[in-house]
Amino acid sequence: MVEIMVVVVIIGLLAAASLPAYRLITLRSRAASVVNDLRTFSTVFITYSLQNGRYPDDGDPQVVPPQVAGQLPGNFSQRTPIGGVYKWNFDIPADGVPAKAAIIIQAVSGNALLDDLDQLETVDKQIDDGNLATGNLQLGSTNSLVFIIEK
């Protein structure tokens, strides 16, 4: 009986030691997916701007602007890996962050953005300066992520 208890305790300790590593892997995986999406989307918007002399019109959450409808991947209109949805923002304030052109990850009804600050900072570290108050990825006034393409 004692041997079984020792085995159970050892397994419990190993499981407890692996949880932080699992969380870190999950944070990095989600962040990498979001960073990949933002880079892909921004490339499409920048290419459109270079070819047409202006950015596409401002859009609604999860709605692909008609000007780039055939160029943006389908995941623009789906839930993001960190919750919330993508939104194209042009020529209007980007959730309190000054930007001419930006991609916003924002919460919508029934689809909240993760409020895990570690997750948001991990995204910022992978694509920007690691500080959510500065750089091209900032935290907006309603806790949405704003990826600035042009200031």
Tokens encoding 76? 């623009």
pLDDT at 128: 93
Provide mean pLDDT across the span 124-132: 94
pLDDT at 1: 86
| pTM of this structure | 0.87
Distances (CA, A) of 62 to 3, 52, 56, 85, 102: 56, 23, 15, 6, 14
Share of the chain above pLDDT 70, in %: 100
* pLDDT band at 110; cut points 50, 70, 90: confident
The whole-number pLDDT of residue 111 equals 81
Q: How confident is the model at residue 49 (pLDDT cuts 50, 70, 90)?
A: very high
Which token pair is 54? 């202006």
Q: What is the pLDDT of residue 136?
A: 95
Of the candidates 77, 37, 61, 143, the residue with the CA atom closest to the CA atom of residue 109: 61
- Tell me the residue range of the domain where 113 lies: 2-150
Q: pLDDT band at residue 81, thresholds of 50, 70 and 90?
A: very high
Read off the DSSP letter of residue 100: S
Average pLDDT score over the chain = 93
User: For residue 7, what pLDDT is reported?
Assistant: 93
Number of domains into which the chain is organized: 1
Cα–Cα dist 107/110, whole Å:
8
